[in-house]
Amino acid sequence: MRAWHVWRKRLAAAAVLGSAGLLLTMNTALAFTNLQKNSRGPEVLQVQKCLKTLGYSIPELDGVFGNSTYRAVMAFQRSNKIKITGVVDKKTYNALQVARRNFELKGGLEGMADGDASSDEDSWQEARGSAVNVPESQPFLLRDNVPNVLRTARKYIGVPYKFGGDTPKAFDCSGYLQYVFAQHGMNLPRTADLQFKLGRSVAAGRLEAGDLVFFSTYEPGASHCGIYLGNGEFIHASSSKGVRVDKLSDDYWKAKFYGGKHIVK
């Protein structure tokens, strides 16, 4: 009988704690505030950590909802069939928590079990770790090295596109450029808008093979990028067809052209 009273007290205590936890969860849900560009604080940091754990590109865990976080959120929303807004609303936040828990239960990305994927990832981490940051506003690519860089760039034609992708499993435009140049010891910034700060501005008619080209696509400013191949062609990670070669004179790209950057010296 005494044991029964002890267990009854424990059950009652558990019920109280459970109710308190439920109430806390409900209050948190009711008090949820959307996180969006320029938001700051521990909630943003939590989202950034979650996205980084899931494999999305978050260069800096700083609690500031900037362009990289915005793009990673959109990539997550696209992958999870959530309306793509770049805003962390309650639905997106809950989906992030579920995805993180599932990730932790599975012990990491299933794709990493693949030998080739692991090899690519190891190679990328090694190259990125040894690459040197390139200077802004001045050329940095040796002319003699241009053929090697372009050869590497062409090697990945056909690799699919993925927003936030920066390995040969899948690339986005700026992740592709960063990867290609890292194979040759040069560390470029991760996003197109930051890559646009590299080199010197040059008119389309004066581009050299190896220079960078930028386009204004899904948002104002430099939001897409590629490597100029010469003869009016450039190579890039297209959102519709993956890594491919296109012409600057194509109607779409001609209308979206934002600027060229001369990086060859």
**So which residues are the catalytic ones?**
173, 224, 236
Backbone CA torsion sign across 134, 140, 145, 151:
positive
Work out whether strand 170-171 and strand 212-215 pair parallel, antiparallel, or are unpaired.
Answer: unpaired
Structure tokens that stand for 214 in this block? 């930028």
Structure tokens that stand for 256 in this block? 């979206």
Which residues are CB-neighbours of 71 under 8 A, at least 6 positions away?
A: 57, 86, 163, 164, 191
Which residues are CB-neighbours of 92 under 8 A, at least 6 positions away?
A: 73, 76, 77, 82
Q: What is the C-alpha radius of gyration for the chain, rounded to an integer number of angstroms? A: 23
Q: Which residues pair with 230 in a beta bridge?
A: 233
Give start and end residues of each alpha helix (H) in the chain.
2-30, 42-53, 67-79, 90-106, 115-130, 146-155, 173-182, 192-195, 251-256
For residues 204 and 122, give the distance between their C-alpha atoms in angstroms, rounded to a whole number.
Answer: 37
Instruction: Give kind and range of the element (H or E) at residue 34.
Output: none
For residues 121 and 223, give the distance between their C-alpha atoms in angstroms, rounded to a whole number.
Answer: 25
Phi-psi region of 114 (alpha: psi -120 to 50; beta: other; left: phi over 0): beta
Closest CA to 48 of 21, 70, 69: 69
